[in-house]
Amino acid sequence: MKSTIIVANWKMHHGPGQTRRYLEAFVPLMKDLPVDRQVIICPPSISLAAALEATGGTPIKVGAQNVHQQESGAYTGEISAAMLAEAGVEYAIVGHSERRQLFGETDSLVNQKALALQNCGVLPIVCVGETLEQRQSGEAQATVRQQVEAAVAGLDLQRLCIAYEPVWAIGTGQTATPEDAQEIHSVVRDVLRSFGDATAVPVLYGGSVKPDSVDELMAQPDINGALVGGASLLVESFQRICCYQSISPFGRGVE
């Protein structure tokens, strides 16, 4: 896997037409992207086919924003991991805080979804993160620790990605400081190590990542990429994020 992963989570934005227009403009801009960076676009399900077509033959990958945990059956409105794999989708976000908060997804369900994805060869991007109340009451580390433990049970660590997204930073314009993010990222790494050789698991940061905050965030030693919502909707700002400047003394990215 590449050493840095930048994921666009478009949420419920950009239908098939807009997806095509966006990617027509975006794909050519990525031709000079440093080779160690993987860009993944996660459009709404209805736009996956358009995204796959527009990125075919390019280094840009496509991911889903959700999946159902069952293989098939009477689950109106849902999509299975096997269907994603058949369509050529290589990644899927699971456990996003909006799914947890608005659709009642539990740690156990997130784990089942991630297992279903891995069984079909789709790489899960598992989201974790504390709420503002949990942070203010000093429970941020314990919350994330528990979420990661529950989510990764039984998973193959060689085919997994984690995204730490503090809930209070999502869509609020309030980014965690690079140091706060780094602190939780090292907790995530610690938990992963207790499950086996976790060196291959990229741990991304998400929550109001913007063109003006990405360089410093990416300079943190335990942050291996970004999950970007609002700032990925416009070609120019997402391009700037993908082309972040490596200011890291640890030498990730291209100087």
Binding residues for ligand PGA, per CB under 6 A?
Answer: 9, 165, 170-171, 206-209, 227-231
Q: How far is the CB of 177 from ligand PGA (least distance, A)?
A: 15
Query: What Rg value do the Cα atoms of the chain yield, rounded?
Result: 17
Which residue among the candidates 14, 68, 96, 185 is catalytic per the annotation? 96
Q: What are phi and psi of 248, to 5 degrees?
A: -85, 135
Instruction: Confirm whether 185 is a catalytic residue.
Output: no
The residue number whose beta carbon is nearest to ligand PGA equals 229
Q: How far is the CB of 137 from ligand PGA (least distance, A)?
A: 22
Residue number with CB closer to ligand PGA (194 or 240) = 240
Instruction: Confirm whether 165 is a catalytic residue.
Output: yes
Q: How far is the CB of 44 from ligand PGA (least distance, A)?
A: 14
Confirm whether residue 10 is marked as ligand binding: yes
Which residue among the candidates 98, 105, 130, 165 is catalytic per the annotation? 165
Confirm whether residue 9 is marked as ligand binding: yes
- Encode 134-163: b = buried (16+ Cβ within 10 Å), e = exposed: bbeeeebbebbbebbbbbbeebeeebbbbb
Confirm whether residue 229 is marked as ligand binding: yes
Binding residues for substrate: 9-11, 171, 208, 229-230
Q: Which residues are catalytic?
A: 96, 165
